[in-house]
Structure formats: structure tokens, C-alpha cells
Amino acid sequence: MTLILNRRQALAVGAGAIVVLGGTAGPAFAKNDSDDIIKKFTGNATPQQGRVKLDLPEIAENGNTVPMTISVESPMTAQSHVTDVLVVADGNPRAGVATFHFSPASGAAEANTRIRLATSQNIIAVAKMNDGSFFTASKAVKVTIGGCGG
Amino acid sequence: MFSRRDFLQLAAAAAAVMPAGGTRALAQQGLSEAELLRFAPLGNITLLHVADIHGQLVPVHFREPSLNIGVGEARGLPPHITGKDFLQRYGIPEKSAAAYALTFEDFEALAKSYGRIGGLDRAATVIKLVRAERGEGNVLFLDGGDTWQGSLGANRSKGQDMVDCMRLLKPDAMTGHWEFTYGEARVKELIKGLGFPFLALNVRDTEWNEPVFEPYKMFDKGGVKIAVLGQAFPYQPVANPRWLIPNWSFGIREDDVRATVEKARKAGAQLVVMLSHNGFDVDRKLASRVSGIDVILTSHTHDALPEAVRVGKTLLIASGSHGKFVSRLDLDARDGEVKDFRYKLIPLFADAIRPDAEMAAAIAKARAPYAGELRREVGRTESLLYRRGSFNGTFDDLICAALIKERDAEIALSPGFRWGASVLPGAAITIEDIHNATAITYPNAYRLTMSGERLKEVLEDVADNLFNPDPYYQQGGDMVRCGGLGYSVDVRKPAGQRISGMTHLKTGKPIEPKKDYAVAGWASVNEGTQGPPIWDVVERYIAGEKVVRIAPNTSVKIAGV
């Protein structure tokens, strides 16, 4: 008795489970539970495009440590400021990357850090404003095997 | 357009004395230095540009691509037109000198008629003449990079031969790409001795995120303040080994480009020129998104275009590769903008343009230590050996055959470099020829086992670097060349879905995802790669074959073009 499946069996399993993405699909921009995390963060509200700036390289030099800067346009006053910024990665094994908390005392809604990307994917930032509105931006970052350029 | 008329005249002159099949001597009669250089000066400033010389001090044969696929918005636009379409687009007669310099059509026959093109001594003649005509105070000469690498001499001297010779041309600035493959310490050392600035606004140190190089430099020419911005190849640590420059981070850094343009304008620049190693499609996109750049001198993708391409108010110039051309762009720059321009891509026909004596002596001196080695004959070829093209090149077919035989592999992978001079059928293959196609600082020819799954990942990964519809996600090389492996590719499919029908050519069987295959290749970006240098592998193979014959490569089926 072996546990080796032939191709037809494997396909049948794949069809039943739906989740089997072709193992050879490579750097497809796969999805995890990032949508759910965003929905939870916004309470199902759809964030508007704009005000958020996500600075990431188009192609990562090293997927293990990708520099990222987020900034949100806001006067950062008691009347109008950013309270939180959620960052998710839709192709990592775990979608959550970070949540940054701000207050008027922050002066500016800006943060930078380095993140780890398992594969090519979209990074999505969602900013929550003190008036309960949400703004978002996203950027595709490619993580490549490397070589062959020139 | 001036350039077109100029090329037509040049072409007509040659055609008049050389109907198809004419002798070389006849062909050359139609090509005079005066005719090649003829240019009605315009305005107050002349920009001279060379790029992607790739270590070629002496004239070469270089076949332009027969396939140069453009995707997304660039599809079907220059530089993604080749052969007869190219000739038609620019109104160049078939079999003319210009047709030979700019396309692959009739390459073998025309190469015999028109001879070699390039040579730094010919470039020197042109540059000196233009400077004398326009006055030094009105001319800026800029080197777009990929100058220090690509030949045996450049590799052995770690770029020194190129630096020594280029210095005589007194460029006003340069930027880089393959320069960085000599490693951080060597790059710094060479820059110290340049006598002119190495500009790169998009390189920062990984620790403090501070600029490594001068981002731009201001020049006073033609009564105008000119800012020259440097943009190095954005994907150095991805496309070439990161371990050679571990402390430097690159990228397109569009925001930094924008900020540098604004800074330069604020500092009084009335003309902004970007000396770029982005590659043509990246620069075309950048020009559409960043305002305030008057001229982008493009490079990296090795395109030779006889006319400037306009994007909004920005002029894009593509000056070819391997030392074949010098670009001359005359500008009437007043009141902070370009009022008028005239452009000519000057082909350096080696038999028509006199070599500059000072440079010729410097080249001879640089080549002297290896002179005997360079001309040593290893074998002969019955086929034209060339590399450039989106998918296959016969030189890479040769390299792959060498890897399979000499490294006892089933499948070979050869990088899709765009540099590498051509060798004509019937000619000897010399050590110089082999190194012109292989001279890099990480040459080890590895042998390892790879699963079919991994092979597909590699092909998909490289394919996306070429065919991602957004140029900012492209790296500017050509497709990885395969030996012993056939496949189909649909360039319009999304990432990860372009490659299908992978076939093990020896057995004719499909590549199995879980099966391991013996794979040999070279130019791995991983540190510590083991194996003999690729040039030794290729030399052994050619010596064994004695005469090389390359069958037409039909193993890649292309769709979506």
C-alpha cells in the first residue's frame, strides 16, 4: 500500500478541495484571507481609493526583507487625523503584516519598516480616519528567482 | 524628419554604387566619413550619447534582432519592430548601409559588403569632429553605461581597459549596470580614477538609505544650465548577483526621479537630461508620468532607433549597442524648454570612418597583453553565430550544446543577455569571439538536478520579466535560452501561466513536474556557484567539434505576439 496518487486521483482530490492551486503555477498572485482581515478592520465598509501612499519596490531585491513606507495625507489634528493603518499581504501564508496606530501627537501619519514576502503578491494598506472613513492603496510586488537580466 | 532624410541619402548613396551582390570596395565608396557625419547644426547645444558598448574597443559584427516582442502598450511600437517592418517604418531601402546597421535583414551578405561597425577609435574621431565643429562649450558627451564589461580584456582587467580608453574621450558623465558586477570596492576604485562623475540617483545604501552616488550634475553649455540626472539599471541586485554589491539598493524610484527633477529645476536648470539605464519601455512609461525631463538618453535594451521618440514634451533617444553608433542630438534650448531639435544616429562604419590615432594607440596598448590569445582560433563556424533576440540566438544554441556535452547534462540553460557580438559563417571562432559572448565575473558553469516543476518556475519567472505588461516589472533581458528542452509560450497570458508543453527533446516526452533532470547552466546569481568558467566549456566543445553547424531552432513555439 502506498500513498502515491496518480495524476487523475490528484486531480479528483484537487477538484474536491478546490484549494489546490497547480503546484507549478509559480508566482501567481495568489490570495489568502486578506479580504476577510480588511473587512473586519473596516466593519465591512468599502474603503475609498486615495490619500494613502504605499512606497514599495516593483520587484523585490530580497523577498525576506522588503523596505516599505506608508504615508497618509492628513492634517493630523484633533479634529482630523489617522487612527490606524492596516497592512496586509495577499499572497503570504499569513495575510496580516502590521497595524500602525497614530494620534494627533504623531505629527504625521507615516511609518516605514521591512516586510517579508513569500512570493509575488499585492500589498494593501487601509487607513482608518477618526471620522470613521477608510482609505486604501495597494501595490503589486514581484519576488523573482533572479538572474538572466541584461 | 532630418534623420530619416539623412538615412535615405546615406542609403541611396550606397545603393547607387552597390546593387545586390556588389563588392565590398564598391559598397564602401558610397560611405564616406563626411557623408556619415553630415549634419546641419541646430540651436545652441549638442548632446552626444553612447551606450551599451559592452567592452568592445574594436569594430564588431552585430546582428540586430529578428524578434523583439513588445507587450502591453508597447506592443508594435518602436523599438518592438524588426526587419522589413523596421525598414518600412523608417523609410530605409533594403540592402542599404542603414538597413545593415539597423536590422537583421540580409545580415550575412551585407556584413560581407559593409564590414564591421564600431570601435572606440572611430567613436573618438566622430566625437572630436563634433566638438570641434560645435565648440567644446556647447557639447555634452554622455555614456549610458554597460561600458566596462563584455570582452576578455574588460573582464581580465576588471574594467580597467575600458576606463583607460573612455577617459580619453572625456565624457561629461556616465551611469551603469554591468559596471556593478565588478563589486563595490572595484567600482569605487574605478570611479575614483574616472575624472568625470558617475551619476545614479536611484542607488542607496541598504543600511542608512542614503544616496551612494551623485544623483545629478549641473553643466553650463551653450549659455544654458543643464542638469544631467543619472539613473542606473534599477534591477541590479535581482538580474545580476546581489552578493557583489550587498550594501547597495536600487529600484526605479520614480518619486526620487521626480524629486531630483524638481530640485534641479529649482537650482536653475533650464534643460533637464536623464542619462538612463532603465531600458526603453521603462523610460517611455517614466516619461509619461514624470514631467520636466526634456531628454531621456535611454540604454540597457540595446535599441538603435534612427529617430527620437516623443512622449509628451520628452524626447527619448536610443543609441544602440556594442559601439556601433554615436548619437548626436542638437537642441535649441531656451526659456527652460526645447524649442527645436535635430537628431542623427551615426553608424560607425569601420571602413569609412578614420580611426583616431591617439585612441587607436590606447586600444592597441590595452589589447597587447592578450593579443595572441584573442586571435587564437578554436574552430570554425558554418552558421552565423548571434545572440540578440527575444527567444533564441545561435550563439546560445552553441553554448547550450557545449553545456549538455561537456557537463553531461540533459538540459541546458543560458541567460538571455542582450550583449554578445556576432560571428559570420565561414569565419574562425577565436578566443575573443567566445569571450565576447561569455565574459562575466560570475562565469561558473554549474551542473545540478532540477525537477520539472522547478524548471517551469524558472521559465515562468523569466517570461514575466520580459512579458509583464507593465514595463516597471520588466528587467530588460531576453528569454532564458534552453538546450534539450522545448516549450510553448503565450506572451499575453498572466504571470505563471505563459509556459506549456514543456518537452524533453532527447526523448520527446513531456517534462514531468516531479521528475529530476540533470541541468547545466551558467551565470547563476547565487554566491559560491561551482563549476568551470563557461568560456572553457565552450572552448572545449568547439575544439572537439572543429566545425560548428547550428540547426534552426524550432523548440520554442510562440503565441500571442
For chain B, the domains span: 39-53+136-349, 376-559
Q: Helix, strand, coil proportions of chain A in percent (round to 5)? A: 15, 35, 50
Helix (H) or strand (E) holding B529: none
Q: Are the beta carbons of B91 and B339 closer than 8 angstroms?
A: no
Q: B203 has which bridge partners? A: none
Q: Summarize the confidence of residues B57-85 as an average pLDDT.
A: 97
Please state which of the four CATH numbers 3.90.780.10, 3.40.50.2300, 3.40.50.300, 3.40.630.10 is assigned to the domain occupying B376-559.
Answer: 3.90.780.10
Backbone angles phi, psi at B139, to 5 degrees: -120, 135
Residue A93 lies in a domain: yes
pLDDT tens digits, residue range B478-503? 999 999 999 999 999 999 999 999 99
pLDDT for B6? 52
pLDDT for B355? 98
Task: Tell me: pLDDT of B548 over 80.
Answer: yes
Q: Are the beta carbons of B180 and B240 closer than 8 angstroms?
A: yes
Q: Summarize the confidence of residues B149-173 as an average pLDDT.
A: 98
Euclidean distance between CA atoms B403 and B273, whole angstroms: 44
Task: Tell me: pLDDT of B15 over 50.
Answer: no
The closest of B159, B58, B61 to B110, measured between CA atoms, is: B61
Residue A101 lies in a domain: yes
B146 to chain A: closest CA residue: A150
Q: B535 has which bridge partners? A: none
Chosen for mutation from B179, B180, B235, B238 (greatest number of chain A CBs closer than 10 Å) is: B238
Distance from CA of B28 to the nearest CA of A (A): 34
Classify A17 as helix, strand or coil.
Answer: helix
Task: Tell me: pLDDT of B228 over 70.
Answer: yes
pLDDT for B392? 87
Q: Summarize the confidence of residues B166-187 as an average pLDDT.
A: 98
Strands (E) in B179-260, as ranges, are 204-205, 216-221, 224-231, 248-249
Report CB contact under 8 Å: A150, B473: no
Candidates B178, B233, B461; nearest CB to A145: B461
Candidates A29, A140, A149; nearest CB to B238: A149
Residue with cell 547534462: B409
Strands (E) in B125-235, as ranges, are 139-143, 173-174, 204-205, 216-221, 224-231
Residue A31 lies in a domain: yes
Neighbours of B5 (CB within 10 A): 10
Euclidean distance between CA atoms B503 and B486, whole angstroms: 5
Range of the domain at A66: 27-141
Report CB contact under 8 Å: B239, A150: yes
Residue A2 lies in a domain: no
Task: Tell me: pLDDT of B318 over 50.
Answer: yes
Q: How would residue B12 be classed by pLDDT, with cut points 50, 70 and 90?
A: very low
A93 Cβ under 8 Å from any chain B Cβ: no
Chain A residue numbers with beta carbons less than 8 Å from the beta carbon of B239 are: 146-150
Q: Summarize the confidence of residues B112-127 as an average pLDDT.
A: 97
Instruction: Tell me what ipTM this predicted complex has.
Output: 0.89
Residue A72 lies in a domain: yes
Candidates B238, B240, B460; nearest CB to A27: B460
Q: What is the CATH number of domain B39-53+136-349?
A: 3.60.21.10
Report CB contact under 8 Å: B494, A28: yes
B440 to chain A: closest CA residue: A150
- Centroid of chain to Cα A79: 29
pLDDT for B17? 38
Report CB contact under 8 Å: B472, A61: no
B497 to chain A: closest CA residue: A25
**Of the ranges B8-12, B163-167, B524-528, which one carries the lowest mean pLDDT score?**
B8-12
Euclidean distance between CA atoms A73 and B331, whole angstroms: 40
What is the bridge-based pairing of β-strands A121-129 and A82-89?
antiparallel
Report CB contact under 8 Å: B249, A145: no
Q: Is the dihedral of CA B441, B446, B451, B452 positive or negative?
A: positive
CATH number of the domain residue A82 falls in:
2.60.40.2470
Candidates A28, A67, A144; nearest CB to B465: A144
Residue A110 lies in a domain: yes
Query: How many separate domains does chain A show?
Result: 1
Chain B residue numbers with beta carbons less than 8 Å from the beta carbon of A66 are: none
Residue A13 lies in a domain: no
Strand order of the sheet with strand B325-334? B173-174, B139-143, B45-50, B325-334, B337-347
Residue A121 lies in a domain: yes
Q: B483 has which bridge partners? A: B412
Please provide the DSSP assignment of B396-449 as one string: HHHHHHHHHHHTT-SEEEE---S----B-TTPEEEHHHHHHTT--S--B-EEEE
Task: Tell me: pLDDT of B10 over 70.
Answer: no
pLDDT for A29? 52
pLDDT tens digits, residue range A87-141? 999 999 999 999 999 999 999 999 999 999 999 999 999 999 999 999 999 999 9
Report field, pTM of the whole predicted structure over 0.90: yes
Contacts 24+ apart (CB under 8 A), B249-253: B249/A61, B249/A67, B249/B203, B249/B204, B249/B205, B249/B206, B249/B209, B250/A61, B250/B202, B250/B203, B251/A57, B251/A58, B251/A61, B251/B202, B252/A57, B252/A58, B252/B202, B252/B278, B252/B282, B252/B286, B252/B472, B253/B201, B253/B202
pLDDT tens digits, residue range B396-433? 999 999 999 999 999 999 999 999 999 999 999 999 99
pLDDT for B476? 82
